[in-house]
Structure 1
Amino acid sequence: MPRSVSGVEMRKRQAAHIEAPAQAPGQPRPNTCCLCWCGCCKCLWNEDRIERSQTCKMDPIEAGDEQHPSLDEVLSWARSFELLLRSLEGREVFQEFLRSEYSEDNLLFWLACDELKKETNPAVVEEKARIIYEDYVSILSPKEVSLDSRVREGINQSLSEPSNLMYEEAQLQIYTLMHRDSFPRFLNSSVYRDLLANRRRTCLDT
């Protein structure tokens, strides 16, 4: 005679054979992954993958690894405004000074134009050109930079067909303004002089 099965064991066997709700033919199961047959959105493997992905995007450079300019580099800034702008640390120090004079937007505009020059994707060029105009050229912007009427007119005409070089003349005008006006004051400011003195003390201590 076949072996009898208790009611409890029968329920266990029935539960073990319960399948997930049937999918419509040809319809993909949403939010599935190779380790999650049920396709639930709370898959632990999926959460672990997302967490690892977010961790990988973290900046590997810690605050303690910040690099400081050498004495030679700081001295080179006084000899050349171009060298100052080419240096990441130089731009940061110069921006700190400009912020104290409420003219930081000149440097930000110059940097934005420089980034635009590197773009080749027409869609990206159009978007960045529009943002630059709204942020630094429009008379309605609180960050408007000082440009003469001729340069402004040229920019307005270029807006219909923006290019990565449409702000080149305006960028040169702001560069000249910073070079002739802000740069000499920067070299005589406490921001630059204190940094220079600090670098010299560091050299003497080593």
Structure 2
Amino acid sequence: MPKLLFSKIRFSDIKDLFPNVQRPRRIDIVLNRRRRNCNIWSSGQKLNDEACPSNLSWKTDHKLDLSLEKWLKDKRYRAAFRSFLESEFSEENIDFWLACEDFRSASDDLKWRAEKIYEEFVKPTACREINVDHSVREKIQESLEKPSHCCFDEAQKHVYLLMLRDSCPRFLHSDAYLSLKRKSRTHWYI
């Protein structure tokens, strides 16, 4: 029998060669632990498939959430993320999110600002229409009579989750992000 490099081959790849050998006990323990952890997360959170189209695990979503927060706060990362979204024809998401942040911090003429955001991003015939549900659009339209600082919160959260689950994973593999990350690493040595 030829010698095999077992560190590079999984047991499932060679199990046909050894019909009487069973899987080692240690691997069973590790796999059961992983299954238990997955079951804890899936039973602890009742997720709807429509609300969470991504099949990412909680840990991955959490890491992406921290990354997206970092990108939206830092000017360089925000500019790189926005240019990436432009290349995917979805820059209206980040522009809407930033407009909502400005709206939330504004203190004067809320009605005018709310109508401007509605006309540009939320209205069904808007030139830069965002992807939100019809019910959310109706709630925003009703709140335009007496706008408050939180009238766009539901739509903003929806757009944030859309960027988090859809755009962020692709941005992590884009050339724009990789070059920016490389520049930030070499910045310390200059």
Question: 1:77 touches 1:84 (CA, 8 Å); kept in 2?
Answer: no
Identity %: 38
| Aligned counterparts of 1:126 and 1:99: Cα–Cα separation in 2 | 29
| Aligned counterparts of 1:144 and 1:105: Cα–Cα separation in 2 | 7
Query: Greater relative contact order: 1 or 2 (C-alpha under 8 angstroms, separation 6 or more)?
Result: 2
1:185-196 mapped onto 2 (5 Å cutoff):
185-196=170-181
1:149 positional shift: 1.5
The letter of the residue matching 1:163 is: S
Question: 2:77 touches 2:180 (CA, 8 Å); kept in 1?
Answer: no
Question: 2:64 touches 2:164 (CA, 8 Å); kept in 1?
Answer: no
1:46-125 mapped onto 2 (5 Å cutoff):
80-121=67-108, 124-125=109-110
Question: 1:113 touches 1:171 (CA, 8 Å); kept in 2?
Answer: yes
| Aligned counterparts of 1:157 and 1:77: Cα–Cα separation in 2 | 33
CA separation of 1:79/1:125 partners in 2, compared to 1, >3 Å: closer, same or farther? closer
| Aligned counterparts of 2:163 and 2:90: Cα–Cα separation in 1 | 9
* Match status 1:184 vs 2:158: no
* Match status 1:149 vs 2:137: no
Question: 1:151 touches 1:170 (CA, 8 Å); kept in 2?
Answer: yes
1:87 positional shift: 1.3
Question: 1:129 touches 1:164 (CA, 8 Å); kept in 2?
Answer: no
1:104 positional shift: 0.4
The letter of the residue matching 2:114 is: A
1:78 positional shift: 8.9
The count of aligned residue pairs is 128
Match of 1:31 in 2: none
1:161 positional shift: 1.2
1:79 positional shift: 5.1
Structure 1, unpaired ranges of 5+: 1-75
Question: 1:129 touches 1:162 (CA, 8 Å); kept in 2?
Answer: yes
1:203 positional shift: 4.2
| Aligned counterparts of 1:200 and 1:157: Cα–Cα separation in 2 | 48
Deviations 1:31-65 (A, max 9, x none): xxxxxxxxxxxxxxxxxxxxxxxxxxxxxxxxxxx
Match of 2:51 in 1: none
| Aligned counterparts of 1:78 and 1:161: Cα–Cα separation in 2 | 32
After TM superposition, the score normalised by the length of structure 2 is 0.62
Q: Which runs of 4+ in 1 moved over 6 A?
A: none
- Secondary structure in 2 matching 1:113: helix
Match of 1:47 in 2: none
After TM superposition, the score normalised by the length of structure 1 is 0.58
Which has the higher Rg, Structure 1 or Structure 2?
1
1:197 positional shift: 2.3
